[in-house]
């Protein structure tokens, strides 16, 4: 693994404004950083990143299957008791998931290790799925990268493909998409997903979380009083279950993306020490990030960071001519992140 410095593209901030990338800087500091990219060999990508991600993902799903039917574990996960049956039914009915993001630590010397499973409200979609493709095309066009350069990134195609499957299962239904009003990053993420859904042939409508109403007959409605049947919500279940309107969710017939059972998969209690007594099918070679005292216990991480590499908050990859066919570059960001867009 190598870190390679590079020059910023001239005028990229004006370009970001043109394409609606309003959150390239946040809180007075840069969020998008294109001053370096990372180089990996193929073994690192396939064996150190992809394989551990799949293993961890399957392990986490098996833990969900154990937790949903265990009252003691549900209490440990701090899931309000009134929602236990609905979450269990969601899992048993195999309510479809759309995507997850598994955040890993990787130092280039062995299989990546788990920090957290952001399975409910992951962001960074726009900058990974679209913006860094634009970066690659610009770098090629100005001659800084060879024309044969490719990117280890198929996120947008997978998102559209997943929307197409959902559309086939629910034809002619409107998909409402929602987030809170106070976050440009969340609004940009949801707008990007809306564009992907429209490319998959889905009729979409946006509504802010704060504008969702309680209609007669215990329906959820949008700002135009249209009944909401399917809702993608960039708002975590851990908040929704504690909102004043939480009990109303049990009465509605809304199909949520992400589904109810993601309240388990995205829960920080999924990681040790909270689940040390839950049997696992195997102990993956990936393991978990060790605590500061080296006692082998996982330190639950609530923020989406990559502490080992201290990388900027975007991910991209390119393959470079002249470095050998087993070489791949990663663009600055969550190198130890892989996006799963389907759980079943």
Q: What residues does each domain of the chain span?
A: 2-169+266-340
Q: Are 45 and 14 in contact (CB under 8 A)?
A: no
Give which of 245, 183, 197, 218 is closest to 341, Cα–Cα.
197
Give which of 120, 114, 115, 116 is closest to 100, Cα–Cα.
120
Name the β-bridge partners of 233: 178
- For 210-229, how does the pLDDT look when each residue is reduced to its tens digit (9 = 90+)? 999 998 889 999 999 999 99
Percent of the chain with pLDDT over 70: 79
Name the β-bridge partners of 214: 220
Looking at the whole model, is its pTM more than 0.85? no
What whole-number distance in Å separates Cα of residue 158 and Cα of residue 134?
18
Residue corresponding to tokens 């195609």: 157
Cis, bond preceding 258 (omega within 30 deg of 0): yes
Q: How far is CA 99 from CA 51, 119, 278, in A?
A: 18, 7, 25
- Please give the residue that has the higher pLDDT: either 307 or 194: 194
Distance of CA 265 to the CA centre of its chain: 12
Q: Is residue 271 predicted with pLDDT exceeding 50?
A: yes
248 — pLDDT class (breaks 50, 70, 90): very high
What whole-number distance in Å separates Cα of residue 313 and Cα of residue 334?
6
User: In this predicted structure, what is the pLDDT of residue 147?
Assistant: 87
- For 126-178, how does the pLDDT look when each residue is reduced to its tens digit (9 = 90+)? 998 999 899 989 999 999 988 887 777 889 999 999 999 999 988 889 999 99
Give the long-range contacts of residues 21-28, CB within 8 A, separation 24 or more: 21/126, 21/127, 21/131, 21/188, 22/184, 22/188, 23/184, 23/185, 23/188, 26/184, 26/185
User: In this predicted structure, what is the pLDDT of residue 272?
Assistant: 59
- Identify the three-state secondary structure at position 206: strand
Average pLDDT over the chain, rounded to an integer: 80
Q: Where are the beta strands (DSSP E) in 282-326?
A: 316-318
């Amino acid at each position: 693994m190598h870190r390679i410095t590079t020059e910023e593209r001239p005028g990229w901030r004006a370009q970001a404004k043109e394409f609606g990338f309003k959150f390239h800087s946040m809180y007075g500091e840069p969020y998008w950083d294109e001053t370096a990219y990372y180089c990996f060999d193929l073994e690192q990508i396939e064996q150190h990143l992809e394989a551990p991600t799949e293993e961890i993902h399957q392990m986490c799903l098996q833990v969900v299957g154990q937790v949903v039917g265990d009252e003691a574990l549900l209490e440990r996960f701090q899931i309000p008791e009134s929602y236990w049956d609905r979450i269990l039914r969601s899992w048993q009915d195999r309510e479809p998931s759309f995507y997850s993001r598994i955040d890993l630590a990787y130092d280039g010397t062995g299989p990546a290790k788990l920090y957290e499973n952001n399975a409910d409200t992951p962001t960074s979609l726009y900058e990974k799925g679209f913006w860094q493709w634009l970066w690659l095309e610009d770098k090629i066009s100005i001659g800084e990268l060879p024309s044969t350069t490719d990117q280890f990134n198929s996120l947008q195609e997978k998102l559209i493909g997943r929307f197409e499957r959902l559309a086939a299962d629910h034809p002619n239904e409107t998909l409402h998409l929602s987030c809170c009003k106070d976050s440009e990053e969340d609004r940009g993420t949801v707008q990007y997903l809306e564009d992907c859904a429209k490319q998959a042939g889905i009729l979409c409508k946006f509504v802010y979380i704060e504008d969702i109403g309680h209609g007669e007959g215990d329906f959820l409605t949008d700002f135009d009083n249209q009944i909401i049947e399917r809702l993608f919500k960039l708002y975590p279940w851990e908040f929704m279950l504690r909102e004043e309107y939480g009990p109303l969710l049990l009465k509605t017939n809304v199909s949520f993306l992400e589904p109810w059972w993601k309240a388990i998969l995205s829960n920080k209690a999924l990681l040790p020490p909270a689940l040390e007594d839950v049997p696992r099918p195997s102990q993956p070679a990936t393991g978990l990030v060790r605590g500061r005292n080296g006692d082998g216990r996982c330190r639950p991480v609530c923020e989406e960071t990559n502490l080992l590499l201290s990388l900027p908050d975007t991910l991209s990859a390119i393959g470079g001519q002249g470095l050998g066919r087993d070489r791949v570059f990663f663009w600055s960001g969550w190198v130890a992140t892989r996006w799963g867009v389907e759980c079943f």
